[in-house]
A and B are shown apart, each in its own frame.
Chain A
Amino acid sequence: MLARISPQTLRILALLAVVLAVLLFFSTQVPNYLNGRLFNRISSSVAIMALIACGQTLVILTRNIDLSIGSIVGFVAFATGSLITNNPELGPVLLVSYSIILGACFGVVNGLLVAFLRIPSIIVTLATMALFRSSLVEYSDAKSITTGNLPEWLISFPNYKVLTFGTLQLRAGFLVAVLVVIAVHIALTHLRPARKLYAVGSNPEAAEMAGINTKLVVLSAFACAGALAGLAGFMFLARFGTITVVAGLGIELKSVAASVVGGVNIFGGSGTVIGALLGAILVDLIDMSLVRWALVSEFWREAVLGTLILLSVAADAILMRRLIALRVAREKTTKENAP
């Protein structure tokens, strides 16, 4: 039975089970835990992280990593903020396109360096992480974007209530993020070029031999990740309003954590963005719940999160090995039974 389900579906089911288990556990530990406010809080914060984790996943699928993604989010948030501050009449479509294109440009810089200069992505993006951040510091000229200068529609957009069930609100920001993730998921599973992303990460030499332009594939992955980070930068601006030069600091590692917890193989070739979304939800859920859990002091929260990441990756590796063993055994028996 178990062997019939595809490994990816199994991973997602397992993640859902873990999310449920975490919810149940904390509801016994924290008084008045399960309520609409918990959902609203997590969904607001996941709205941004889901987009970034989704972009990070695209890059990781090709056996690379993007550590500059937090700096891109910060830069785009600031640049978009200052654009609208100076031109308050700009409409939403233009503003969002600006964010996305700016983010994609940063992604292209990363992609060119990784794909064509053949420098390992961890080094390239470690460098561009610092470079993008420094250019933000230079660009900002020690000023900040403040909520007061932003138009009303921008500030209210993420919290716009699409649907309300009691205290539980489905807000526009979260809805947009989930829709984008679903769109990317459909693209990954149904578009022909997307399959090359997996091929390059799965076996780069074979991809080259199969006539795939691996450089172009890696470049596109970084560009798409940049575009998603740009969109996340827009959401970041809309949600917080006040943007300083440290915006988005540390997001890059959180996005890697979300992807890995979501079952994306850090060595490339396998994983889904739905998994990354669930990973982002799980990481955020645990983070938020630990704040309210009296037993764990603030200092140990990071440690608990770290343990969670180790556990999820280990569990994943063991689970997959079991699954493969199970299949091999099943095939043996069917072969032996066959005449």
Chain B
Amino acid sequence: MKDQPVLQLENISKHFGMTIALADMSITLHPGEVHAIVGENGAGKSTMIKVMTGIYQPSAGTILIGGKPQVISGPQAARDAGIAAIYQEPMVFPDLDVTENIFISDTSAGLLMRPAAQRRRAIELIERIGINLDPDRIASGLTLAEQQVVEIARALSQDVRILIMDEPTASLSAHEAAQLRKIAKTLAAQGVAVVYISHRLEEIFEIADRVTVIRDGAHISTKPIASVTADSMISEMVGREVGNYFAKAPGTVTDEVILQVQNLSLAGVFKDITFDLHKGEILCMAGLVGARRTDVALALFGVTPTATGEVTYKGKPARFRSPREAIDAGVAYVSEDRRKLGLAMPMSIRSNISLVTLDAFLSRFGLLNREKETAVAHSYRERLNIRTQDVDSEVGMLSGGNQQKVMLAKWLNMEPDLLIFDEPTRGIDIGAKAEVHDLIREFAAAGGAVLVISSDLPEVLALGDRILVMREGQQMGILDTSEATQERVMILATGQTALREAV
């Protein structure tokens, strides 16, 4: 590491209101290295990238480029400094062709475009990446992998010195991912500092020169790849003590099976998911981003009826073809995306709670019975401890925790037998988390069955009676809570089982 670092973050912090996304983060990037960054979901990787690319301004700390302190005021400034990022979902212009996409932000060459010259340069850049791609193709017809190549070529056209790849392979096939890793290696060999973020530890062992582990927005360690093992990385990623803020409550599992899933598959998305769910049980689905847990839930809820496999619900074969059918059968799905799929933000608490079960609120003439609606909303406000003045407040004005409770109230009101809860505590504070957990346990204790999808490991361990771990559409195993630890879940979720056995 004798050469001058291209980019240094020094004691960078970033706050969003009360939330601390980055705390005293420091990292140094050298030209020609592939620098992997690993951490759990929510460890602060995305925030760090956004600070590097000028999308966020740090609350405190210094950024040094080529040894000199510099403010990256926006995406254009980052680009001028030679920093570019490509994401899991590439940023391309679907209506433009490959060449046009590559040179879209090229301002150096004057007013007139010279298509022939651009096309030649595009071919050169694509060759430098080492890929076959027709420069005349329209971007909307490209595969994800090809779109990423376009983005890399765009970065190269601007003389990139730092290329950040954020989960670039998460949505790619094995062959495409291998190709992309080769590209990362090639670019590093040409002197670019490549920041590589991935949940796939085997990828990191294949290409990284150094690994930085981050956790809870803070830097944990930076080591040469040779001196780390999968186990050491995982234990650093997990770090904190289990159960320091969630107490494990005794389970309420009964013998009665309510849901039996056998070899549930959806082509290209997930494969051979098999589990039982008992009355009174909380089954947690753990895994990293891209593990396809939500897709499994959506298939059970009838959103993707093309899934294959056998689902037995309450002793009968069940294949819901629409959410309506699932709801009628007593299945509730509480979405992870409150804003998009969960709540009608401009509407009141009252009308949100009654939304799924409107039929129950109709009076004789088919009009809404508003008194009944209000009464029900009030009872939920008290039961779930939703902190508002009244039930006519706009849902959009509530805090995340209260919104989550309104969403739960909406679904509890249909009195489901099976509750699927996707990321029940994402983005809400610790106090509200504990309350939501109590509500879920209460529901299970009353005889309901719960399927919780959560990326929060302590939550999974505290809440679940059993834990189903998924990785990239595969079911990696089901652990009983008594035998589960954060490390064991992570080992399954990152696909290190084989490695572990070898040790």
Contacts and interface: CB of A to CB of B under 8 A. Distances in A.
A195 B113 contact: yes
B141 A202 contact: no
A206 B91 contact: yes
A83 interface: no
Interface string B103-121: 0111101111100000000
Contacts of A324: 140-141
Contacts of B137: 327
B93 A192 contact: no
B105 A210 contact: yes
Contact of A203 (B92, B109, B154): B92
Given A191-B111, A195-B100, A209-B75, A269 B95 contact: yes
Most A C-beta atoms less than 10 A away, residue of B96, B110, B112: B96
Given A209-B75, A210-B105, A203 B91 contact: yes
Contact of B95 (A191, A192, A201, A327): A201
A201 B93 CA distance: 9
Given A195-B104, A212-B105, A203 B111 contact: no
A196 B141 CA distance: 20
B76 A211 contact: yes
Interface in A198-219: 198-199, 201-203, 205-212
Contacts of A7: 138
Contacts, number: 67
A7 B94 CA distance: 13
A201 B96 CA distance: 11
A269 B93 CA distance: 8
Most B C-beta atoms less than 10 A away, residue of A191, A202, A208, A328: A202
A191 B93 contact: no
A193 interface: yes
Contact of A328 (B75, B92, B107, B141): B141
Nearest to A269: B95
B112 A265 contact: no
A168 to B, nearest CB: 36
Contacts of A190: 112-113
Contacts of A196: 104
A7 B110 CA distance: 28
Most B C-beta atoms less than 10 A away, residue of A199, A210, A324: A210
A206 B92 contact: yes
Nearest to A204: B93
A270 interface: yes
A324 B141 CA distance: 7
Contacts of A198: 93, 95-96, 100
Given A191-B111, A199-B104, A209-B75, A269 B141 contact: no
A198 to B, nearest CB: 6
Nearest to A327: B141
Contacts of B94: 202-203, 269
Nearest to A268: B95
B93 A199 contact: yes
Contacts of A270: 95
B35 interface: no
A27 to B, nearest CB: 37
A212 B154 CA distance: 14
B142 to A, nearest CB: 10
A58 to B, nearest CB: 15
Contacts of B112: 190-192
Given A207-B93, A211-B76, A327-B141, A192 B105 contact: no
Contacts of A195: 96, 100, 104, 113
Contacts of A207: 93, 104
Contacts of A211: 74-76, 79, 105
A210 B55 CA distance: 12
Contacts of A203: 91-94
B206 to A, nearest CB: 26
Interface string B190-233: 00000000000000000000000000000000000000000000
B406 to A, nearest CB: 28
A269 B94 CA distance: 8
Nearest to B55: A209
Contacts of A205: 91
A210 B154 contact: yes
A191 B105 CA distance: 13
A206 B107 CA distance: 16
Contact of B104 (A191, A210, A327): A210
Nearest to B106: A192
B77 to A, nearest CB: 8
A202 to B, nearest CB: 4
A212 B95 contact: no
A7 B95 CA distance: 10
Contacts of B105: 210-212
B309 to A, nearest CB: 28
A205 B112 CA distance: 25
B41 to A, nearest CB: 22
A49 B444 CA distance: 67
A332 B169 CA distance: 22
A103 B114 CA distance: 32
A265 B141 contact: no
A209 B91 contact: yes
Nearest to B78: A211
B81 to A, nearest CB: 11
Contacts of A193: 111
Report, nearest first, the 10 A-B pairs whose CB atoms are least far apart. Answer: A211-B76, A206-B91, A269-B95, A202-B93, A210-B105, A270-B95, A202-B95, A211-B105, A211-B79, A203-B93
Given A195-B113, A210-B91, 4 more contacts: A193-B111, A198-B93, A207-B104, A211-B76
23 contacts: A190-B112, A191-B112, A191-B113, A192-B106, A192-B107, A195-B96, A195-B113, A196-B104, A199-B96, A201-B95, A202-B95, A206-B91, A206-B93, A210-B91, A210-B105, A211-B75, A211-B105, A212-B104, A265-B95, A269-B94, A270-B95, A324-B140, A328-B141
Interface of A: 7, 190-193, 195-196, 198-199, 201-203, 205-212, 265, 269-270, 324, 327-328
